[in-house]
A = this chain, B = another copy of it.
Amino acid sequence: MKFLWIRLNILMGTAFLMFSSPLQATSPLPEQPPIPKDNPLTKEKIELGKQLFFDPRLSLTGTVSCNSCHNVMSSGTDNTATSTGVFGKKGGRNAPTVWNSAFLTVQFWDGRAASLEEQAKGPLVNPVEMGMKNHQAVVKRIKKIDGYVKQFKKVFKGRNPVTIDNVAKAIAAYERTLITVNSPFDRYLKGDKKALSASAKRGWKKFQEIGCISCHSGPNFSGPTKTMGVGFFMKFPTFPGSQYDKKYRLLEDKGRYEVTKKEEDKHMWRVPTLRNVALTAPYFHNGAVKTLPEAVRVMAKTQLNKTLSSQDVKDLVSFLKSLTGEFPKQTMPRLPEYRNASLVD
């Protein structure tokens, strides 16, 4: 029954594709992601959020910042299978890229956060990530740093501006600036036919033909544009039983089921973006697959029940490489000082 539903979903995706412009089955990545009404972007808020994003003092040991696992100086990930938090502890899932995450309608691999704001609060108090005892402890520490208090007052007003919600809002505001427009593929869509190699063009055609695009649709290649907070999930593996299940431990983690405990959510995962995917190895929720060509083979087999020729794999990888965008130049934040004493015990 579920199987049928998923096939239907894929068919509908393909149908959707067929009814859209035959020349342009998607559109370039917009310069700006959706901005929630209750968290407008301001220059000061973005700057504050950047400081918080890079500040390891937001972790129990003073050693782990958001940037430790979501390195914006590179791919927005840590390029390791699973991340390392306080005390060298390892997390259970691969860190998704922060670049273009603002286009995703839900956050985390299992979509358990409805917004970037909600997401930002999680790792702070996860014992294998930043390890703070609770959100109160985060707020207490930030309040000790005068430079932060001043900025929170300016950005958020009110009598008690340093709150965990405002911490999350500032971080989310900064993250909404982390957009990589103007990839070769986007330039191609805009009319520069030389922006893609012949191989990448074949890959893009193949990507549509075999049905990758039925899930990886939309300008962010992460599914159809939905309301923020409403996720787009798919079963992985949709076709269980291949060699890859065991080889890459694909059935160990039950995905969204771990959050909802609903039978139908077993092995359901949020469809991740393919933007900059050539830079974000290793792949999948457990980081078990080390190379992009192998990730393409695994996807084709487990999601479309297809075994690709080596030429097809090459072409698809060429196309995926064309989704690497331009990373905006950034100034380094200065973290506000805590004077004359150590903040972290």
Contact = CB atoms under 8 A, between A and B. Distances in A.
A151 to B, nearest CB: 15
Which of A81, A321, A339, A343 gathers most chain B CB within 10 Å? A339
A16 interface: no
A263 to B, nearest CB: 34
Contact of A291 (B56, B329, B341): B341
A344 B79 contact: yes
Given A62-B78, A78-B63, A339 B279 contact: yes
Chain A interface SS verdict (over half)? loop
Contact of A279 (B57, B88, B337): B337
B88 A291 contact: no
Contacts of A337: 74-75, 278-279, 324
Contacts of A80: 61-63, 342, 344
Given A72-B332, A331-B332, A333-B73, A340 B63 contact: no
Nearest to A75: B337
A48 interface: no
Contacts of A68: 63
A340 B88 contact: no
Contacts of A290: 341-342
Interface residues of A, number: 49
Given A56-B78, A340-B281, A340-B317, A73 B291 contact: no
A292 interface: yes
A56 B330 CA distance: 19
Contact of A292 (B61, B340, B343): B340
Given A72-B332, A279-B338, A292-B341, 10 more contacts: A61-B80, A63-B78, A73-B332, A80-B342, A86-B88, A88-B88, A88-B89, A292-B339, A292-B340, A331-B332
